[in-house]
């Protein structure tokens, strides 16, 4: 998610779940080819498994960007066919590609011919006046024929005119059944669902119908739910999560980031929702939203914020 799932966010989320597949922000193929690669693509080894999401519609450029992503060590290349922003439309990529499924298939084929890691696609059920029955089938048929390894479907349309990107994530109604019907037609392909999932229980329920579930905003705003992922979906033994250990790990990570010239707030801005619902969470959030952004703030601010949180009536330090 652009501006959200940067490397600091992914490092943090990886402390909460060892197994969930994490996605980068979308990076446009041209930027990967021409831009400051280390800044755009650099990531920490602990982030694995991590997928690089690309934006673009030129098969040769996407293939080159995918090659670079694979060489950087990414575990998967994902093509964005779902983002509706104006900036993205002007570059002919994102959701408007729902209208040109053959071109999307060419993009997938070019990337598949270039890399050995999985190539996946994330799309909508349709855009504008498209009939989702036809549009999603056409897109899915094309990308799977081209060798796509997974199709993630954000289960709502995007309206390319008239709705902002934010509105396009809320206003067009969710239609999970449309994604289930696609899966029923394609039992041998990996099809995942996305859009509006608020909890691991909701994610679990979808797995009766599709192969995977992807959480966006809920994972970002209430990252504590990720602490249950490994036990719920990957067979890990359910055990109390060590939040004190997490804060120590994030404080160490922040210290390394600050040493390299970064700021504490770059890391902690992704952590404000961590203790959502617990006593003291408000104070924790306040400290991270203010003190952590002051010039010169150090990792001790994170520990001070954590000390405000109570677990079962005990201050975090003692928990």
Active site residues: 83
CB of 147 to ligand FMN, least distance (A): 20
192 contributes a contact to ligand FMN by CB under 6 A: no
Query: How buried is 192 (Cβ within 10 angstroms: 0-12 exposed, 13-18 middle, 19+ buried)?
Result: buried
Which x/- pattern over 79-108 shows residues binding ligand FMN (rule: CB under 6 A)?
Answer: -x-xx-------------------------
Q: Which stretch binds ligand FMN (CB under 6 A): 109-117, 132-140, 189-197, 286-294?
A: 189-197
- Residue from 154, 157, 178, 285 in contact with ligand FMN (CB under 6 A): 154
The answer to whether residue 229 forms part of the interface with ligand FMN (CB under 6 A) is no
- Distance, in Å, from the CA atom of 56 to the CA atom of 298, rounded to the nearest integer, reads 39
Window contacting ligand FMN (CB under 6 A); options: 39-47, 76-84, 225-233, 282-290: 76-84
Shortest Cβ distance from residue 111 to ligand FMN (Å)? Answer: 16
Q: What is the DSSP letter of 173?
A: P
Question: Per the omega criterion (within 30 degrees of 0), is the bond before 292 cis?
Answer: no
Please give the Cα distance from 46 to 244 (Å, whole number). 19
Quick one: which of 195, 223, 224, 265 contacts ligand FMN (CB under 6 A)? 195
Beta bridge mates, 22: 50
Taking the C-alpha atoms of residue 267 and residue 274, their distance in angstroms, rounded to an integer, is 13
What gap in Å lies between CA 53 and CA 23, rounded to an integer? 7
Interface with ligand FMN includes 175 (CB under 6 A)? no
CA distance 145 to 122: 16
Q: What's the rounded Cα separation, in Å, for the pair 175 and 109? A: 28
- 194 lies in the binding site for ligand FMN (CB under 6 A): yes
Site string for ligand FMN, 20-49 (x = CB under 6 A): -----xx-----------------------
**Residue 24 near residue 3 (C-beta atoms within 8 A):** no
Residue 161 C-alpha from the chain's centroid: 25
Binding stretches for ligand FMN (CB under 6 A):
1-4, 25-26, 53, 80, 82-83, 122, 154, 169, 194-197, 215-218
């Amino acid at each position: 998610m652009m501006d959200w799932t940067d490397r600091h966010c992914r490092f943090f989320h990886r402390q909460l779940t060892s197994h969930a597949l994490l996605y980068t922000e979308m990076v446009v193929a041209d930027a990967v080819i021409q831009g400051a690669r280390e800044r755009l693509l650099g990531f920490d080894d602990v982030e694995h498994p991590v997928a690089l999401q690309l934006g673009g519609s030129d098969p040769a450029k996407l293939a080159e960007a995918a090659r670079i992503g694979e060489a950087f060590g990414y575990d998967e290349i994902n093509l964005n066919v779902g983002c509706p922003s104006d900036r993205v439309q002007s570059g002919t990529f994102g959701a408007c590609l729902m209208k040109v499924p053959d071109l999307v298939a060419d993009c997938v084929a070019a990337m598949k011919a270039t890399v050995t890691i999985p190539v996946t696609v994330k799309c909508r059920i349709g855009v504008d006046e498209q009939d989702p029955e036809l549009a999603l089938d056409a897109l899915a048929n094309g990308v799977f024929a081209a060798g796509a390894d997974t199709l993630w479907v954000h289960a709502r349309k995007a309206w390319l005119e008239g709705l902002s990107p934010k509105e396009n994530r809320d206003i067009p109604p969710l239609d999970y059944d449309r994604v289930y019907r696609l899966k029923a037609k394609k039992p041998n392909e990996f099809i995942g669902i996305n859009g509006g999932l608020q909890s691991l229980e909701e994610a679990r329920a979808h797995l009766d119908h599709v192969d995977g579930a992807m959480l966006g905003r809920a994972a970002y705003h209430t990252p504590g739910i990720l602490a249950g992922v490994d036990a719920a979906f990957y067979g890990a033994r359910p055990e109390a999560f060590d939040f004190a250990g997490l804060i120590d790990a994030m404080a160490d990570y922040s210290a390394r980031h600050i040493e390299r010239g970064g700021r504490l707030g770059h890391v902690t801005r992704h952590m404000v929702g961590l203790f959502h619902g617990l006593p003291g969470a408000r104070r924790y959030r306040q400290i991270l939203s203010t003190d952590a952004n002051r010039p010169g703030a150090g990792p001790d601010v994170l520990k001070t914020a954590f000390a405000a949180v109570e677990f079962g009536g005990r201050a975090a330090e003692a928990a």
